[in-house]
Amino acid sequence: MTVYLDHNASTPVADEVLEAMLPYLVERFGNPSSRHGWGREARAAVEHAREQVAALLNVQASQVVFTSGATEANNLAIKGWCGADEAGCLAVGATEHPSVLAPALARRRLGSEVEILPVDSQGKMDLSALESSLARGVRMVSVMLANNETGVIQDIHAISDRAREYGACVHSDAAQAVGKIEVDFAASGVDMMSLSAHKFFGPKGAGALVVDKSVDLDPLLHGGGQERGMRAGTENVAAVVGFGAAAELALRRIRATQARIQALRDYLEARLHQLEGVVVFAAEAPRLPNTVCMALPGLDGETAVMLLDEAGIAVSSGSSCSSGDTEPSHVLMAMGVEAEEARCAMRVSLGPGNSQADVDALICALERQLYHPASPPGTRLSAMM
Ligand code: PMP
């Protein structure tokens, strides 16, 4: 693999992050709950990482609950939320990640009323539909900060302002936003926020739910009372240390990398528009600076991924979390995209290590597919249907 353009799926562990982690995989192996020196050393490392993560989001360290990633953080927020009466009416955006949608539907099976909030053709939350849901008695709203497939950034301030008027709690899945754009928990007005270390050069298997003190949550895991009783289990010390180091790195680098990646994305889109019939989804919406979700006419997204892989270029078709799933993306369908066009969707997500040469390589490979395909377009499309 020579050109990696799938940074929304995962990122490599940064050198500084690995260096910070290694001692905690070897000689500093203590259990943070132990009272002796080894334990105190591990505890200090976990608490230092908590400070680093808190600094990235402008929160107090005591608000950070470490989890195994954003999937667990989202499950904890949705299933653990107990701020309402028994029925617990909640609403989630139609374009949420499956790790928000699935626990919401699990709650519905247990008797909660769950509403799905629509988005417009650009993937932005319909604020009037949100208002109606709140007026009908929704007590908790979960809306992602940035979408993993399209990169669309929601106006989370406006959403939390509306929710606050009705006294509802707001959770935001910020797994794709953190590390790519500046995220300020306090300024956003939300009550809970999920994040994941491997999306910004930290290790896999580490994440957090940031929780405002006013929120009443039931833990998913009961046991030894770690994480102030919110998440039992011996802390994954090395991963947590790596998460903290990645947060510090992101805080230091975000402004510079954001501008550079955005310029590269603009270059990519300009080149894409020179190709015949290319559609860029949510082009009018505020988006993450690194993400382009597009469709090439007649070229099925899954096929495009495989053909580009053969050319040494890694991209994704829709959400990487649902790859293997031949259904068109629920995100694009919620935006009103026709199923046939949605099946042609392909996501390119840039990272700080990418260059103009990488984008040129992608364009060149796409041109080959569009204008000089190895097989006729009909077979390319039907191969994946
Ligand atoms: N939410 C979003 C928006 C994501 O993109 C992802 C990862 N694809 C997750 C949640 C799940 O994160 P994790 O891999 O840490 O479980």
What residue ranges line ligand 1, CB within 6 angstroms?
A: 69-71, 74, 97, 99, 144, 148, 173, 175-176, 196, 207, 321
For the CA of 319, the nearest atom of ligand 1: 8
* Residue 324 pLDDT greater than 80, yes or no: no
Helix (H) or strand (E) holding 69: none
Q: What would the pLDDT profile of 224-245 be if each residue is shown by its tens digit?
A: 999 999 999 999 999 999 999 9
CATH number reported for the structural domain that contains residue 229 in this entry: 3.40.640.10
Closest CA to ligand 1's atom 12 = 70
Residue 87: the pLDDT is: 58
Q: 279 and 237 in one domain?
A: no
For the CA of 146, the nearest atom of ligand 1: 3
Q: Is 321 a catalytic residue?
A: yes
Separation of 178 CA from ligand 1 center, angstroms?
11
Separation of 15 CA from ligand 1 center, angstroms?
22
CATH number reported for the structural domain that contains residue 319 in this entry: 3.90.1150.10
For the CA of 198, the nearest atom of ligand 1: 15
Q: Which residues make Cβ contacts (< 8 Å) with residue 13, sequence separation at least 6?
A: 21, 201, 202, 203, 242, 246
* Residue 1 pLDDT greater than 90, yes or no: no
Q: 156 and 140 in one domain?
A: yes
Q: Which of 169, 321, 344, 364 is catalytic?
A: 321
Partners of 169 in the β-ladder? 140
Quote the tokens at residue 47.
């608490």
Separation of 199 CA from ligand 1 center, angstroms?
8
What distances in angstroms separate CA 139 from CA 42, 99, 164, 216, one per listed residue?
39, 20, 10, 13
The predicted model scores a pTM of 0.94
Residue 307: domain span:
3-10+255-384
Q: 366 and 308 in one domain?
A: yes
* Residue 84 pLDDT greater than 60, yes or no: no
Quote the tokens at residue 18.
């690995």
Q: What would the pLDDT profile of 21-58 be if each residue is shown by its tens digit?
A: 999 999 999 999 999 999 999 999 999 999 999 999 99
Q: 240 and 265 in one domain?
A: no
Q: What would the pLDDT profile of 108-155 be if each residue is shown by its tens digit?
A: 998 889 999 999 999 999 999 999 999 999 999 999 999 999 999 999
How far, in Å, CA of 205 to CA of 209, rounded? 13
Separation of 373 CA from ligand 1 center, angstroms?
34
Ligand 1 pocket test target in 153, 172, 195, 199 with most atoms within 8 Å of CB: 199
For the CA of 96, the nearest atom of ligand 1: 3
Question: Domain boundary residue among 224, 249, 274?
Answer: 249
**Average pLDDT over the chain, rounded to whole?**
93
User: What is the CA 284 to chain-centroid distance, rounded?
Assistant: 20
CB 94 within 8 A of CB 119: yes
Separation of 193 CA from ligand 1 center, angstroms?
12
Closest CA to ligand 1's atom 16 = 71
Closest CA to ligand 1's atom 5 = 148
Tell me how many domains the chain contains.
Answer: 2
Q: 31 and 53 in one domain?
A: yes
Higher pLDDT, 320 or 89: 89
* Residue 367 pLDDT greater than 60, yes or no: yes
Q: 237 and 358 in one domain?
A: no
Provide the percentage of residues in the chain whose pLDDT is more than 70: 92
Q: What angle do CA 99, 258, 193 make, to 5 degrees?
A: 30
How far, in Å, CA of 113 to CA of 110, rounded? 9
Residue 370: the pLDDT is: 72
